[in-house]
């Protein structure tokens, strides 16, 4: 018996929301990183953090919550059907893993008070964040060329 073939392409609005939230997160994250490292402003008592940093951080956090909601909406159909059809599992798992890691380190940055931990969380968070576009592109390219894998047939006695 032939197994059904599943179309795992997302609806246009969902795909658009994934790309939009990912792009805004990348842009606000990179902008925050660059301003924090290289764009100090001269204050009355010396260099001070750029005044745009808190606004970028707030926007980044709000959009991160939106991304979590939009990504969670993939679970009932896209991820479940993709898993059962054996398509694109490694890159899908990598994408989910990186997203969960970013959510966890983002929360750790928000709640951590220890400077040493914050420095470490910050480093791994922005490294993983910069990797997201590459992981997403790999998943998309592998998905476009993938076909459902056939499971070996069970032997009937």
Provide DSSP, 64-75: HHHHHHHHHTTI
Bigger pLDDT: 153 or 114? 114
pLDDT at residue 149 greater than cutoff 60: no
Q: Tell me 86's DSSP state.
A: T
Q: What is the pLDDT of residues 80-107, one digit of tens each?
A: 777 777 778 888 889 999 999 999 999 9
Q: Write the Ramachandran bin of 68: left for phi over 0, alpha for psi from -120 to 50, otherwise beta.
A: alpha
Query: What pLDDT, on the 0 to 100 scale, is given for residue 141?
Result: 85
- Mean pLDDT, residues 127-144 taken together: 88
- Mean pLDDT, residues 122-129 taken together: 94
- Mean pLDDT, residues 106-115 taken together: 90
From CA 34, how far away is CA 105, in angstroms rounded?
19
Query: What pLDDT, on the 0 to 100 scale, is given for residue 3?
Result: 53
pLDDT at residue 4 greater than cutoff 60: no
Query: What pLDDT, on the 0 to 100 scale, is given for residue 134?
Result: 93
- Mean pLDDT, residues 102-131 taken together: 92
Q: What is the pLDDT of residues 28-39, one digit of tens each?
A: 999 999 999 888
From CA 27, how far away is CA 25, in angstroms rounded?
6
Cβ atoms of 81 and 3 closer than 8 Å: no
From CA 58, how far away is CA 81, in angstroms rounded?
35
Domain ranges for the chain: 11-62, 74-147
Query: What pLDDT, on the 0 to 100 scale, is given for residue 155?
Result: 64
42: β partners: 47
Q: What is the pLDDT of residues 5-18, one digit of tens each?
A: 556 677 778 789 99
Nearest to 146 by CA among 1, 3, 8: 8
Phi and psi angles of residue 79, each rounded to the nearest 5 degrees, phi first: -70, -40
From CA 73, how far away is CA 68, in angstroms rounded?
9
Query: What pLDDT, on the 0 to 100 scale, is given for residue 145?
Result: 67
Query: What pLDDT, on the 0 to 100 scale, is given for residue 10?
Result: 74
């Amino acid at each position: 018996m032939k197994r059904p073939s599943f179309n795992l392409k997302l609806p246009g609005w969902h795909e658009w929301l994934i790309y939009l939230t990912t792009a805004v997160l990348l842009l606000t994250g990179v902008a925050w990183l660059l301003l924090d490292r290289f764009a100090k402003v001269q204050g009355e008592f010396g260099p001070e953090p750029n005044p745009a940093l808190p606004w970028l951080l707030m926007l980044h956090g709000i959009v991160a919550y939106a991304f979590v909601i939009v990504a969670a909406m993939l679970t009932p159909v896209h991820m479940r059907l993709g898993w059962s059809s054996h398509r694109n599992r490694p890159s899908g798992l990598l994408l989910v893993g990186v997203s969960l890691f970013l959510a966890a380190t983002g929360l750790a940055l928000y709640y951590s008070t220890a400077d040493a931990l914050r420095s470490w969380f910050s480093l791994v968070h922005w490294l993983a964040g910069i990797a997201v576009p590459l992981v997403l592109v790999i998943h998309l390219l592998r998905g476009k060329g993938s076909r459902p894998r056939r499971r070996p047939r069970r032997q009937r006695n």
